[in-house]
Amino acid sequence: MTAPLDGVLVADFSRVLAGPLATMTLADLGAEVVKVERPGTGDDTRQWGPPWTEHASSYFECVNRSKRSIALDLRDPEDLAVARELATRADVLVENFLTGTLDRLGLGYAELRELNPRLVYCSVTGFGSGAGAALPGYDFVVQALGGLMSITGAPDGDPTKVGVALVDVLTGKDAVIGILAALRERELSGEGQRIEVNLLSSLLGSLVNQASAYLSTGRSPGRMGNQHPSIAPYETLHCRDGLLALACGNDGQFARIAEVLGRPELAAGPDPGAADPDPGVRLVTNPDRVTHRRELVAALEEVLVTEDAATWVERLNAVGVAAGAVNDIGAALDFAQELGLAPTVAVGGGHPDQVRHPVTWSRSRLPAPTPPPDLGEHSTEIRAHLKEKP
């Protein structure tokens, strides 16, 4: 039984995170990925530590499994010829050089298309290939420029980056979507094409309701910590021993929360039989709860602080309400393991385990992962193979 991308050859001219994540995903799906690296130094992330493994930095290892590495100096005519031969045989090429760099080397799409009309050529940039082409694209800066920091962090604190290079990750996944769609279209047309993704557009596309809020009102959302701008309670709340993450998606769930906490009146409407009903603070509907969030949180935490978070998680989950502890990464992986999700995979060769490809398949079988390559580990065999007639 073959893997979904069995027989697809990927020439990986990318480095750091977005591009390498995209090409590793293709490798996970069965593609053969040849990673082109600079002699002597290789991918920048090989030096991005600590932490370190026995072979490289843990940063490099997390997005470079199941690839083969060839060291090529693209300023050297002989090495450049090898790179061009690889590109002419590839089904997919992924690159994240500064716009125009590969064109000057004869590795741009226009020139390679003449040699390999079926090539799917994916360019990853920070800010596109137009007016922003000269701007260096680093995730941290894009989080700032793209508005993500402005909605992340405490309301009275500084704008804060997300705890992982999320924009690179989103862009890498967008690149895979584009590549797979282009490969499918190639089956119909017989021709490849160039696709482009950039960090800023991927970030803006991920802002969903927050971007929609601005486009609907003309007002930019602000930071709310762990609170949600449109739903309540949808935040972290204090219990006796720490924080509880509680997500209430509708009024029926809130009624169940109120029952579990022994405060059913929080979800009750006004008494229609009262002679002169006093509406007071009402928490029955989601708009009520958002409007009166301060009173809502006070009422909930008054009860929550009487028990540990784990107790409330058990009770709330039992009635179909989403609640959970605030885990660290180790606890998160352990939790996934307890659920039978098999979150990690062994790659062998003395390398540490890695987080596995997240998709599972009913029929296709993915290839067993191989260790991230040492710099230039496969140079000799790849050069020899490219000298052979295709």
Enumerate the active-site residues.
168
Q: What DSSP element (H or E) covers 323?
A: strand 322-325
Q: Which of 330, 343, 259, 268 is nearest to 300 (CA)?
A: 259
CA pair distance 125, 366, nearest whole angstrom: 29
3-state SS assignment for residue 293: helix
Tokens of residue 360, six digits: 């599972």
274 and 280 Cβ atoms separated by less than 8 Å: no
233 and 260 Cβ atoms separated by less than 8 Å: no
Provide the angle, in degrees to the nearest 10, between the axes of the packed helices 166-189 and 18-28.
Answer: 50
Tokens of residue 215, six digits: 């486009």
Residues 6+ apart with CB under 8 A from 296: 232, 233, 266, 283, 289
Helix and strand counts by DSSP (H, E) for the chain: 15, 11
Q: How remote is the C-alpha of 208 from its chain's centroid?
A: 15
Residues 6+ apart with CB under 8 A from 359: none
Task: Name the E strands within 64-210.
Answer: 67-71, 92-95, 120-125, 193-198
